[in-house]
Chain A
Amino acid sequence: METISTNKEKRSTKLRLVLKKQEDWLKKVEEISGQNVFACYQCGKCSAGCPMSAEMDLLPNQVIRLLQLGAVEPLLNCRTIWLCASCFTCTARCPKGVSLTRLMEGVRLAIFRTRKSDEISPKEMVKETLPQIALIGALRKLTA
């Protein structure tokens, strides 16, 4: 896995360089999710209806666009994939039958399977009585 760069300039040069290298990664995401990213024609309907888009750095349709380009690094550094709540709104509305919900999970799992470390730790969770489905749901989605 390439190192995570915080330097914007470095990132943009890298973006071009990594295009070919990341074919594997795209294949992995497609395999996990069972989706074809090239079926998406970038209409943006997924982003228009996404309940989390106001909190996201990349819009949901941009996630697919980056996958189409094989530009993985911005995905490794984004908040968006961790904010996606698997609500299936985008999947229900996509005119091309693409399940972005599954692709988001594919990206999360591809990251987990490579880096084998968690996105959150129990320490960061709220200290109050929660329904078990909230606790286990968060841990299942956000830890490797």
Chain B
Amino acid sequence: MEIAYFPGCTLKTTAKKLEDSALAVADALDINLKELPNWTCCGTVYSLAEDDLMRQVAPIRTLARTEALGYSTLTTLCSVCYNTLAQANLFVKADSIRLEKINNFMDEEPDYKGNVEVKHFLTILQELGTEKLKSAVKKDLSGLKVACYYGCLLLRPQSVGIDDCEQPYILENIMQALGTKPVFFPYQVECCGSYHTAVKPEIVARRVYRILENARENGANLVVTSCPLCYFNLKNRQKEIKKLYPGFKPMPIFYFTEIMTDAFGLTKTLENI
């Protein structure tokens, strides 16, 4: 089955590594992803205003185009895109009047009827099953102790969460199937400070310090994530952490898909760990 793939803006720039590795993973596992030809920005942060339909136009336009091309599933790699598209989808599915107004407003687009399911790539991997992942593994990664960081938007609000919002296991399952050892990591669902990184980097540095130290205390050699914003905060804010806490030791950060391509023998990203 062909699945529509929505990259989103960041996947084409700072998170190119996530896109490249995820597409290689999909290829290796025979998941047929097809980039949506005419995607636009999803709107980034989901609007929480009940009375402002204008802010829903961006995600619904993408869903309308997906549906018009005959797809029933739209997948994303970015947690922010996932959350915005999935919440917008629920928002219009819950109320036909809202949907009608948005459809009328976008009269140059085909009407959206509400028949697209938004799925994060992690859910697609979970549905594929760990046996399939295990059979694709070519390299022994049993020495790796991995802290799986979820952040907020994959899990909350629960209406769109891909797993339990307090004790998720979807990333751990995948990491285990690859042969690595996921560690206990209670801070995995704590917010990293998100977009505040653009204005108040020191707040993000204080958040990330606690998250990374929690991973280290539990024996992790590296942290994996699926979100380009979390990735940036966890990785790049280590510079600011070092200034605030001089004793801090760097912690390697990877996209979960980078670990997968290494395990499948397609890349050697982890060689220097």
Whether A associates with B in a native complex is: yes
List A residues at the B interface (Cβ < 8 Å): 31-34, 51-52, 54-55, 83, 85-89, 91-92, 99, 101-102, 105-106, 109, 120, 124-126, 128-138, 140-142
A102 touches B41 (CB 8 A): no
Contact of A86 among B15, B48, B158, B190 (CB under 8 A): B48
Q: Which residues of A contact B157 (CB under 8 A)?
A: 88, 91-92, 99, 101
- Interface pick from B106-114, B191-199, B242-250: B191-199
Residue B80, interface by CB 8 Å: yes
> Taking the nearest CB of chain B, how far is it from the CB of A112, in angstroms?
10
Chain A residues with Cβ below 8 Å from B49 are 32-33, 105-106, 109
How far apart are the CA atoms of A142 and B197 in the complex, in Å? 13
Instruction: Please tell me if B65 contacts chain A, counting CB pairs below 8 Å.
Output: no
Q: Which residue from A34, A86, A125 sits with its C-beta under 8 Å from B199?
A: A125
- Size band of the B side of the interface? 35 or more
Given contacts A134-B229, A141-B195, whether A51 and B190 have CB atoms under 8 Å apart is yes
Q: Is the CB of A134 within 8 A of B197?
A: yes
Provide a sorted-by-A list of 19 A–B residue pairs whose CB atoms are within 8 angstroms: A31-B50, A31-B51, A34-B50, A51-B207, A55-B206, A86-B45, A86-B48, A88-B157, A89-B189, A92-B155, A106-B48, A106-B49, A109-B52, A129-B14, A131-B13, A132-B44, A133-B78, A137-B44, A140-B47
Q: Is B141 an interface residue (CB 8 A)?
A: no
CB 8 Å contact bits of B135-178 with A (1 = contact, 0 = none): 00000000000000000100111100000011000000000000
Kindly identify which residue among A89, A101, A131, A133 contacts B48, using a CB–CB cutoff of 8 Å. Answer: A101
Q: How far is the CB of B150 from chain A (nearest CB, A)?
A: 12
Which residues of the other chain, A, contact B51 by a CB distance below 8 angstroms?
A: 31-32
- Known interface pairs A51-B191, A52-B203, A124-B199; 13 further A-B residue pairs with C-beta atoms within 8 A, sorted by A's residue number: A52-B191, A55-B203, A55-B206, A89-B190, A92-B157, A99-B157, A126-B201, A132-B9, A132-B10, A134-B194, A135-B198, A140-B44, A140-B45
A85 contacts B10, CB within 8 Å? no
- Tell me, rounded to whole Å, the shortest Cβ–Cβ distance linking A19 to chain B: 25
Alpha-carbon distance between A87 and B189 when the two chains are bound, in angstroms: 10
Q: How far is the CA of A121 from the CA of B54 in the complex (A)?
A: 23
Q: Render B202-237 as a binary contact track against A, CB cut-off 8 A, 1 for contact.
A: 010011000000000000000000001100100010
A133 to B157 alpha-carbon distance, docked (Å): 19
Q: How far is the CA of A7 from the CA of B175 in the complex (A)?
A: 56
> Could you tell me the distance in whole angstroms from the C-beta of A61 to the nearest C-beta in chain B?
18
Residue of A nearest to B190 (CB): A51
A contact residues around B232 at 8 Å (CB): 130-131, 134
Top 9 A-B pairs ranked by shortest CB distance? Answer: A137-B195, A88-B156, A87-B191, A105-B48, A138-B198, A34-B50, A51-B191, A138-B195, A136-B44
Report whether A32 and B50 are in contact in the complex, using a CB–CB cutoff of 8 Å: yes
Q: How far is the CA of A138 from the CA of B233 in the complex (A)?
A: 14
**What A residues does B236 contact at CB under 8 A?**
128
Contact A137:B45 (CB < 8 A) given known A87-B156, A91-B157, A92-B158: yes
- Residue of chain B at shortest CB distance from A128: B236
Least distance between A123 CB and chain B CB atoms (Å): 11
Complex: how many Å from CA A126 to CA B201? 8
Interface residues of B in 56-92 (CB under 8 A from A): 78, 80
